[in-house]
């Protein structure tokens, strides 16, 4: 069975600085998708970024980018120029390309942003 | 316009009661889900429906019964509520199973 591990329960960053959130996963599959979701205090789950495993190029979305290391099964999220609104829980998630009906989530990292 | 809406947002009830949570999506999606987020923020899928047909039932107690009257709705009924059912329940939808999920804002269930 696939698992997703986020080893940092909490992280903090100064406004305008850069922070990296770690995620590792375990799978025997070669084709899958990886996601980062943001959950602010409003509780809404918001998709931040998505990576297809067959793509070598790292996904980017404005200030958010990933470092996808397929051999190491690592999928870290880098937030550049951090803003106060980035403060939230961040969840890494995995979805198989074969069994596509469910997302498997990590335990989350709480990010605090200080002015 | 809310894409995935759940009601109620908060639900406080006594042990042993029966309660329902409703979910509606106006995105034209054909797949809907229920996820449970426990007190430690861990999210796990409970059910998945595609075109009103059950696809996934992740070893959820049979006190939980999802019902999908049409593709735009997936309701969750819970019988004989227990303390351990206290959690935030998220509805989500997608177009097919390969596309990204849109989540509702969650229903916080507290069982006393």
Q: Output the CA–CA distances (angstroms, integers) from residue B3 to A17, A102, B73, B97, in the order listed.
A: 33, 20, 12, 17
Q: What is the mean pLDDT of chain A?
A: 94
**Contact at CB, B48 and A108, closer than 8 angstroms:** no
- Angle among Cα A29, A35, A41 to the nearest 5 degrees reads 145
Q: What average pLDDT score do residues A52-64 get?
A: 92
- Chain A residue set in contact with B, beta carbons under 8 Å: 35, 39, 42-47, 50, 89, 91, 100-103, 105, 107-108
Side-chain-side CA neighbours of B101 within 13 Å: the count stands at 31
- Summarised one tens digit per residue, pLDDT across range B58-90 is 778 889 999 999 989 999 999 999 999 999 999
Contact indicator for A91, A41 with CB cutoff of 8 Å: no
Q: Please give, rounded to a whole number of angstroms, the shortest distance from the CA of A44 to a CA of chain B.
A: 5
Q: Does B43 touch chain A (CB under 8 A)?
A: yes
Q: Please give, rounded to a whole number of angstroms, the shortest distance from the CA of B62 to a CA of chain A.
A: 20
Q: Using 50, 70 and 90 to split pLDDT, how confident is the model at B51?
A: confident
Structure tokens, B17:
């009661």
- Summarised one tens digit per residue, pLDDT across range A93-114 is 999 887 767 889 999 999 999 9
Q: What share of chain B is helix, strand, coil (3-state, %, to 5)?
A: 5, 55, 40
Pairing mode, if any, of strands A109-114 and A10-14? parallel
Is residue A49 scored above 90 in pLDDT? yes
DSSP B81: -
**Contact at CB, B106 and A43, closer than 8 angstroms:** yes
- Rounded distance, CA B74 to CA B91, Å? 8
- Residue B101's pLDDT is 87
Q: Using 50, 70 and 90 to split pLDDT, how confident is the model at B2?
A: low
**Contact at CB, A105 and B97, closer than 8 angstroms:** no
Q: What residue in A sits closest to B41 (Cα-Cα)?
A: A107
Contact indicator for A25, A4 with CB cutoff of 8 Å: yes
For A89, the closest of B41, B48, B90 (CB atoms) is B41
Give contacts of B90 with chain A, Cβ < 8 Å: 45
- Rounded distance, CA A70 to CA A27, Å? 11
- Rounded distance, CA B20 to CA A110, Å? 30
Q: Please give, rounded to a whole number of angstroms, the shortest distance from the CA of B65 to a CA of chain A.
A: 18
CB pairs under 8 A between A and B: 48
Residue among B95, B103, B31, B97 nearest A101 (CA)? B97
For A107, the closest of B41, B90, B103 (CB atoms) is B41
- Rounded distance, CA B96 to CA B84, Å? 32
Sign, Cα dihedral of B60, B61, B62, B64: negative
């Amino acid at each position: 069975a696939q698992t997703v591990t986020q080893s940092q329960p909490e992280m903090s960053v100064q406004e305008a600085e850069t922070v990296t959130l770690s995620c590792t996963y375990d799978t025997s599959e070669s084709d899958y998708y990886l996601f980062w979701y943001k959950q602010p205090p409003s509780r809404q789950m918001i998709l931040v970024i998505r990576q297809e495993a067959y793509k070598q190029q790292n996904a980017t979305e404005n200030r958010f980018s990933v470092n996808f290391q397929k051999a190491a099964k690592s999928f870290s999220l880098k937030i550049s120029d951090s803003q106060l609104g980035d403060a939230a829980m961040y969840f890494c998630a995995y979805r198989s390309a074969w069994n596509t009906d469910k997302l498997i989530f990590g335990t989350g990292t709480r990010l605090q942003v200080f002015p | 316009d809310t894409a995935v809406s759940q009601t109620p947002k908060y639900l406080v009830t006594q042990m042993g009661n029966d309660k329902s949570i409703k979910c509606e999506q106006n995105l034209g999606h054909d797949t809907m889900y229920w996820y449970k987020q426990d007190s430690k923020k861990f999210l796990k899928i409970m059910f998945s429906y595609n075109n009103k047909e059950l696809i996934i039932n992740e070893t959820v107690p049979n006190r939980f019964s999802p019902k999908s009257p049409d593709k735009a709705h997936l309701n969750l009924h819970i019988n004989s509520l227990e303390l351990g059912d206290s959690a935030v329940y998220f509805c989500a939808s997608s177009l097919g199973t390969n596309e990204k999920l849109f989540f509702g804002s969650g229903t916080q269930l507290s069982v006393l």
